[in-house]
A and B are shown apart, each in its own frame.
Chain A
């Protein structure tokens, strides 16, 4: 496997040459500083680009074209990465040795059509296509409670600090949706193409020169972009007294979601000891939370903690019976406190390190994981994964304790199910 990064002026091209896959995966990433009022527009825009193009007048025509390219998969995805909004257009297609010569290039051309030849006429997108996308988006916005676990996490972030980017709802907002028109979306489109930072990642069995030739032929962005703002979110300091918030929902199970902002730590501490600390806390089935709350006390089926470096936050979530709320919360509080006092063994640390090593070794198994890894390196400047494994092995117990001492429960949110269990 060989990684090459090429600065092509207006965008970076990242080539990961490997013989491991029968597919070639390409991910075109647009990123710009996140603004709450632009999230909905971006979601609608990127979906609309996949509804039709100048050449393909309908979604069906586009899907049929992709199918004819030997089931090329084309999809998009808009997410928040720390302070940034990131929109990706992804292509996955069999490499030419399983199809026919030139198939990959045709697929890239298809991606070009999507991005550069959108269905715009007289400075507007098509009303009927926009209506389809808006309706879908509206559906996603309004059915947000149908995934109570996810909803509880969002609500806990909003309770923690509603103006912080971490609390933005990445399904969009109804009030912003209403303002979107076929005209103002053209402006958004031009802004995305002109102003967003662009990175293109390609993974697969294909020669560097050939990739370079194809990408240069089809993709041109005009502007050379300025230096970026940091990706890490700035959090308010942790509240002196915990904020307790609650919402009642028609459900049999209640969901507990806790925001634990991480206090000031060095980058090195955020990247290594804290990662291990979180694995120990609630990273998997062998974690303290899982073993204590589920296995020993039978209080839940799911419980875990997740750590986001860019959000500088550890999130804890569990699905519980409302009657066990106090008991569960006390247990979780004690588990976190015990970790700060170093109540975990060398064996626990060894297990957490092994867990991390396996995740590092699995990166090369899947093209999408590989791309995600290089995106992380690109935006955080973190060491390559091969190097990270070595560094992680050296982390000590004392370093983990020091990092975990900066983790405090700030906001406890209960999504309380008000129905009795069904037989």
Chain B
């Protein structure tokens, strides 16, 4: 096992890659009671089409990765993994996103048994016509639950308006019409394509013995054969957005706005980790809690709520900003103004660095948070960033300015969500 000292932190991470390509990351804590196990595949709803082992192009129904995650919990014995984990008061769960599917177990007892069980249930799918059919009602209700949330509708509409072909324009769960077409053969096809050791990893944090964990992992996983990952078929995504502006009407009280910016990757020459740091730095300084922008819109009383994030897809870094505002037009023009008058002061820059470093340290306090932090690293960079604190310390305004000069922020889409009754009124007026 390789020992990795995480910079600026006291914890040591252990890493090993098995012969079949499966990666293992272990971060044991002393004096904690809970352990957190994540067994994951780097397969999510980003895969729309691929070439099967029979050399055929194959496009499963949308939402297949998420459906597959739900169905992994079927066992021939009829006893599901939730029940197995609950014997020891442990908690099993799973989640699917664009670029991964993860299966987790956390608890304070029965570490060995639960680890072994988690690996084995994910390694052994059991799909029947009946059990596949049964899930349709459950997932349809899951989809409907999200569809009823205005924030979710806003985000999905913005994604549709940003992307022509990218899988990021679809909901991870797919649509009710699409999931109704799913058959067990589809699930097996995707499972055998992407649930292979060289596309998977195991991550454990918290209270456990690393030697014991390694022993179980080797016993259960070393025999698994690696095989080539299927060729994923991707469509080219145009630089331009699909729609630059749109207004939609919903049953809401306070209007909402969304801004999406597709930034072509080739305009930034930095390493991936640093690119992410600098892009985040830029938008934190522009729109973060202590930005001048926030003070201005607060004093003008045109901001109720704001949320932003960066997302990386195949060819673009995409920035998303969502806000709630009683004056959506004014807020959008304020955002527009910030984006066209970027200025970075070294004071603000250094303050954000200080905050980030403190946040990194705080994160390690709670194994559950450390787990999700490491998970993001493995998915984004294929490794754990061991010197992030050093990288943050090294960041400087000059580099930031160089990046800003080359940054193409011109491919934007904005969306307004207004109260339904305002539409009625408008119709009446006209």
On whether A301 and B295 interact (CB within 8 A), knowing A139-B304, A364-B33, A423-B177, the answer reads: no
Cα of A84 to Cα of B311 in the assembled complex, Å: 43
On whether A354 and B86 interact (CB within 8 A), knowing A146-B252, A252-B148, A365-B367, the answer reads: yes
Nearest CB of chain A from residue B29's CB, rounded to whole Å = 9
Is the Cβ of B366 less than 8 Å from the Cβ of A132? no
Nearest CB of chain B from residue A263's CB, rounded to whole Å = 29
* In the complex, chain B residues whose CB is within 8 Å of the CB of A365: 32-34, 366-368
* In the complex, chain B residues whose CB is within 8 Å of the CB of A64: 290, 351
* In the complex, chain B residues whose CB is within 8 Å of the CB of A299: 137, 141
| B331: interface (CB < 8 Å) | no
Residues of A that sit less than 8 Å from B by CB: 19-23, 58-60, 63-64, 67-68, 70-71, 92, 94, 98-99, 128, 131-132, 135-136, 139, 142-143, 145-148, 249-253, 284-286, 294-295, 298-302, 319-321, 350-351, 353-358, 361-362, 364-367, 417, 421-423
| B53: interface (CB < 8 Å) | no
Cα of A64 to Cα of B288 in the assembled complex, Å: 11
Is the Cβ of A320 less than 8 Å from the Cβ of B141? yes
* In the complex, chain A residues whose CB is within 8 Å of the CB of B87: 350-351, 354
Question: Which of A23, A128, A295, A421 touches B80 (beta carbons < 8 Å)?
Answer: A295
Closest to B369 in A: A366
Question: Which of B107, B251, B253 has the most chain A CB within a 10 Å cutoff?
Answer: B253
Closest to A19 in B: B31
| B270: interface (CB < 8 Å) | no
Cα of A362 to Cα of B207 in the assembled complex, Å: 12
* In the complex, chain A residues whose CB is within 8 Å of the CB of B86: 284-286, 351, 354-355
Is the Cβ of A22 less than 8 Å from the Cβ of B145? no
| B5: interface (CB < 8 Å) | no
29 A-B residue pairs with Cβ-Cβ distance under 8 Å, sorted by A, are: A60-B290, A63-B290, A64-B351, A67-B351, A68-B351, A71-B355, A92-B362, A94-B361, A98-B361, A132-B301, A253-B145, A285-B86, A299-B141, A300-B141, A302-B141, A319-B144, A320-B141, A321-B140, A351-B83, A351-B87, A355-B86, A357-B89, A358-B107, A358-B109, A361-B33, A365-B33, A366-B366, A417-B144, A423-B176
On whether A143 and B362 interact (CB within 8 A), knowing A68-B351, A365-B34, A423-B177, the answer reads: no
Is the Cβ of B359 less than 8 Å from the Cβ of A253? no
Q: Give the top 10 A-B pairs by smallest Cβ distance, nearest first.
A: A354-B89, A298-B137, A71-B358, A358-B89, A142-B253, A301-B142, A60-B295, A253-B144, A301-B141, A251-B148
| B92: interface (CB < 8 Å) | yes
Is the Cβ of A355 less than 8 Å from the Cβ of B89? yes
Is the Cβ of B34 less than 8 Å from the Cβ of A71? no
Question: Which of B82, B92, B109, B301 touches A135 (beta carbons < 8 Å)?
Answer: B301
**CB proximity to A under 8 Å, residues B304-326:** 304-305, 324, 326
* In the complex, chain A residues whose CB is within 8 Å of the CB of B292: 60
How many residues in B have their beta carbons less than 8 Å from beta carbons of A? 66
On whether A301 and B91 interact (CB within 8 A), knowing A60-B290, A64-B290, A136-B304, the answer reads: no
Is the Cβ of B142 less than 8 Å from the Cβ of A362? no
Cα of A21 to Cα of B31 in the assembled complex, Å: 10
| B271: interface (CB < 8 Å) | no
Closest to A70 in B: B358
Nearest CB of chain A from residue B289's CB, rounded to whole Å = 5
Cα of A366 to Cα of B362 in the assembled complex, Å: 12
Cα of A361 to Cα of B145 in the assembled complex, Å: 33
Nearest CB of chain A from residue B141's CB, rounded to whole Å = 4
Is the Cβ of A354 less than 8 Å from the Cβ of B88? yes
| B147: interface (CB < 8 Å) | yes
| B354: interface (CB < 8 Å) | yes
Question: Which of A21, A136, A299, A367 has the most chain B CB within a 10 Å cutoff?
Answer: A136
Cα of A340 to Cα of B329 in the assembled complex, Å: 58
Given contacts A71-B362, A142-B254, A286-B86, 9 further A-B contacts (CB under 8 A): A63-B290, A64-B290, A146-B252, A321-B141, A351-B87, A354-B88, A355-B89, A364-B33, A423-B177
Nearest CB of chain B from residue A171's CB, rounded to whole Å = 12
Closest to B359 in A: A71
| B372: interface (CB < 8 Å) | no
Cα of A355 to Cα of B108 in the assembled complex, Å: 10
Is the Cβ of B138 less than 8 Å from the Cβ of A298? yes
On whether A362 and B33 interact (CB within 8 A), knowing A70-B358, A71-B354, A356-B89, the answer reads: yes
Is the Cβ of A301 less than 8 Å from the Cβ of B147? no
* In the complex, chain B residues whose CB is within 8 Å of the CB of A135: 301, 304, 326
Question: Which of B91, B107, B324, B366 touches A139 (beta carbons < 8 Å)?
Answer: B324
* In the complex, chain B residues whose CB is within 8 Å of the CB of A301: 138-139, 141-142, 145
* In the complex, chain B residues whose CB is within 8 Å of the CB of A295: 80
* In the complex, chain B residues whose CB is within 8 Å of the CB of A417: 144, 148
| B387: interface (CB < 8 Å) | no
Cα of A423 to Cα of B61 in the assembled complex, Å: 13
| B429: interface (CB < 8 Å) | no
Is the Cβ of B82 less than 8 Å from the Cβ of A286? yes
Cα of A222 to Cα of B326 in the assembled complex, Å: 42
Nearest CB of chain A from residue B408's CB, rounded to whole Å = 30
Nearest CB of chain B from residue A32's CB, rounded to whole Å = 28
Is the Cβ of B361 less than 8 Å from the Cβ of A22? yes
| B116: interface (CB < 8 Å) | no
| B218: interface (CB < 8 Å) | no
